[in-house]
């Protein structure tokens, strides 16, 4: 899958607030917080961008689906299934 952000961009330090007990447990389990947050943020950003794209293109998608419903697709005559 193609990342939705520049994977070569430099890292930037930031502060986050995390439940202290959860942080202790994560450290005990040697969970890399930066990598975990980056992965979760990447997935969330992708999902939000996908939803935004669908919302922005809803009218065009509905128009295309209506056109296909009324007239079929160009390849309908070529399919053997």
pLDDT of residue 23: 97
Number of residues in the chain: 81
Whole-prediction pTM = 0.72
With 80 as the cut, is the pLDDT of residue 62 above it? yes
pLDDT tens digit sequence for 1-53: 677 889 999 999 999 999 999 999 999 999 999 999 999 999 999 999 999 99
Residue 53 is classified by DSSP as H
| Rounded Cα distance, 42 and 52, in Å | 15
With 70 as the cut, is the pLDDT of residue 81 above it? no
Q: In the chain, what is the greatest distance between 2 CA atoms, to the nearest angstrom? A: 63
| Rounded Cα distance, 48 and 40, in Å | 12
Please indicate whether residue 72 or residue 37 has the higher confidence score (pLDDT).
37
Each domain of the chain, given as residue ranges in start order, spans 20-73
């Amino acid at each position: 899958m193609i990342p939705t952000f520049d994977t070569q961009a430099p890292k930037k330090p930031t502060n986050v607030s995390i439940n202290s007990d959860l942080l202790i447990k994560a450290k005990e389990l040697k969970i890399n917080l930066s990598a975990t947050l980056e992965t979760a943020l990447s997935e969330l950003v992708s999902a939000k961008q996908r939803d935004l794209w669908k919302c922005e293109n809803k009218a065009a998608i509905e128009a295309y689906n209506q056109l296909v419903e009324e007239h079929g697709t160009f390849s309908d005559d070529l399919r053997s299934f």
